[in-house]
Amino acid sequence: MKFTPIITALALATSSMAINAQQVEVSVTNLTQGIYYTPFLVAAHNTDMSLYQLGQPASAELQMMAEGGDISGLSAMLTNGSADIIENPAAGLLAPGMSTTAMLDTSDGNDRLSLVAMLLPTNDGFVGLNGWQIPTDAGTYTFTVNAYDAGTEVNNEMINGGGAPGVLGIPVEPGGNGGTGGMGVTDVEENATVHVHRGNLGDDDMTGGKSDLSNTVHRWLNPVARITVTVM
Amino acid sequence: MTFNSKFKKLLSSITLASLVALAGCSDSDDDEMVVIEPPPPPAPVVYTYEVSVTNLTHAQPMSPVAVVLHNEGQLWQLGQSASSGLEMLAESGDNAAVLADAIAIASQGGAGILASGMQETITVSITDNMPMMLSLATMLVNTNDAFTGINAMEISDLIVGESISMKTGSYDAGTERNSESMMTIPGPAGGGEGFNEMRDDVDFVAMHPGVVSQDDGLTQSALTQAHRFDNPTLMVMITRVE
């Protein structure tokens, strides 16, 4: 009996909060024809958290994801901040033209949706949605998102397995259209903040040239993904 | 009679008339006394907007941003010939003519070149005339005539403290051929000519196709792969603060 007033007070406090738990279905479609996405991290979090800010340097956690597809750092950061997360809904890479769906049960106060994955093959390109406000009204909301450059690695476009943070190079070309022997497109990163990706350059020499990427396969224009959010 | 003496006479008759009127009122306690005084001037209403801009490109510095408040018109129209002011801004980065455009009821230029990855806040104010629209333009300086911005965005619904955020695409003024040659790129990649009144391109505003660059096979280009860009190129947040 002692606990009853406390429980009642808690219930009251919870119900008076403006933002309550929601069930949200998040569907992502890869809109490119030649770019693969590494395992997605999908999260509902509070307004204090942010995975990246355009015009600001990337965090070490974002760099891990953008250079090598490793979402563990961002995932830990979000979990520490009491976010609701779904990792790797596609159970692996999301191929060009394909879709995947994640179901999120959001906790009270976690009314911001974020989503990231690395673009392969790129040096540090990623697709991102950052702190989108989840509507309180049930319904289906569709929009598109862009490809960003983390600004942490030179876009030399050489496929050499380099995926760890700070290791120059592209980890892998999953589609089997990668080349070898490129001299490297550039050794300068002129914008060290998170910015809009200028796209892959590529070339038409699969055993040499500047780039190990193909200028007919590995290009894209924004937007690169379509997101459909269904609030139950 | 000179104008001066006419004026003096008018003044003295007004003074007399008011004295008579006051005298007439002074002893009638029952009537409401009506003293006609000039109404105090209304406190001026100031409308102030903070416009935050972030350059989202990899290596396209942007020319000093032009922010224009207006009640009608547009800075440009897709499919239509660019104004000479817009041509000037898009080819050379000089925003003076856009800031002084006939549609402007107030305008403010940015402090200087906005380098890639950088952010700047430009404050623009107007007194006693609530602006209906805001427009903004800036050149991508390592191009022939590319610009980005916002065109006649409705801001009359913004209440104090409210913001609108958006990311903007890139346009081609259509006034200069996209040769990308060193002589024609005014930005650091070329150091060439800015404005030239000759219009040797399609002469209408459209979405920009992006730059080609010498790395992608345009041998005469002064640009490299670093200058390539995709949309959006600018992030803008407009906040009404007063």
Note which residues in 145-164 of chain B have CB less than 8 A from chain A: none
User: How do residues A67-81 score in pLDDT, each as one tens digit?
Assistant: 999 999 999 999 999
User: Between helices A60-68 and A72-80, what is the axis angle to 10°?
Assistant: 150
* Helices marked H in chain B: 3-26, 84-92, 96-99
Give the closest residue to A228 by CA, choosing from A24, A75, A88, A85.
A24
How far is Cα B102 from Cα B74, in angstroms, rounded to an integer?
11
Residues in A closer than 8 angstroms to B215, CB to CB, are: 185, 201, 210
Q: How confident is the model at residue A206 (pLDDT cuts 50, 70, 90)?
A: very high
Q: What is the mean pLDDT of residues B88-98?
A: 98
Q: How many CB atoms lie within 10 A of CB B73?
A: 16
Put simply, the answer to whether B226 touches A195 (Cβ < 8 Å) is no
Alpha-carbon distance B229 to nearest alpha carbon in chain A (angstroms): 4
Return the pLDDT at A15.
42
**B212 and chain A in contact, CB less than 8 A:** no
Q: What is the mean pLDDT of residues B12-24?
A: 44
Question: What does pLDDT average to over chain B?
Answer: 90
Strand partners, B206: B172
How far is Cα A125 from Cα B179, in angstroms, rounded to an integer?
29
- Among B29-38, B82-91, B92-101, where is mean pLDDT lowest? B29-38
pTM, two decimals, is 0.86
Put simply, the answer to whether B119 touches A190 (Cβ < 8 Å) is no
Q: What is the mean pLDDT of residues B85-107?
A: 98
Q: Could you say which DSSP state residue A60 is in?
A: H
Q: Is the ipTM above a cut-off of 0.90? A: no
Return the pLDDT at B67.
98
Q: Which residues of A touch B (CB under 8 A)?
A: 54-55, 146-147, 149, 151, 155, 185-186, 188, 190-193, 195-199, 201, 210, 215, 221-222
**B127 and chain A in contact, CB less than 8 A:** no
Question: What does pLDDT average to over chain A?
Answer: 93
Nearest CA in chain A to B214: A201
Put simply, the answer to whether A188 touches B216 (Cβ < 8 Å) is no
How far is Cα B190 from Cα B223, in angstroms, rounded to an integer?
8
By 3-state DSSP, what share of chain A in percent is helix, strand and coil, each rounded to 5? 15, 30, 55
Burial of B169 (0-12, 13-18, 19+ CB in 10 A): middle
pLDDT beyond 50 at B4: no
**B58 and chain A in contact, CB less than 8 A:** yes
Give the closest residue to B71 by CA, choosing from B97, B107, B31, B37.
B107
- Among A165-169, B4-8, B170-174, B195-199, where is mean pLDDT lowest? B4-8
Phi then psi dihedrals of residue A173, to 5 deg: -115, 100
Q: How confident is the model at residue A201 (pLDDT cuts 50, 70, 90)?
A: very high
Note which residues in 68-107 of chain B have CB less than 8 A from chain A: none
User: How do residues A91-110 score in pLDDT, each as one tens digit?
Assistant: 999 999 999 999 999 999 99
- Percentage of residues of chain A with pLDDT beyond 90: 91
Return the pLDDT at B18.
45
pLDDT beyond 80 at B53: yes
Q: How confident is the model at residue B26 (pLDDT cuts 50, 70, 90)?
A: very low
Q: Is the dihedral of CA B37, B38, B41, B42 positive or negative?
A: positive
User: How do residues A121-152 score in pLDDT, each as one tens digit?
Assistant: 999 999 999 999 999 999 999 999 999 999 99
Q: How confident is the model at residue A14 (pLDDT cuts 50, 70, 90)?
A: very low
pLDDT beyond 90 at B169: yes
Partner residue opposite A190 with nearest CB, options B56, B59, B118: B59
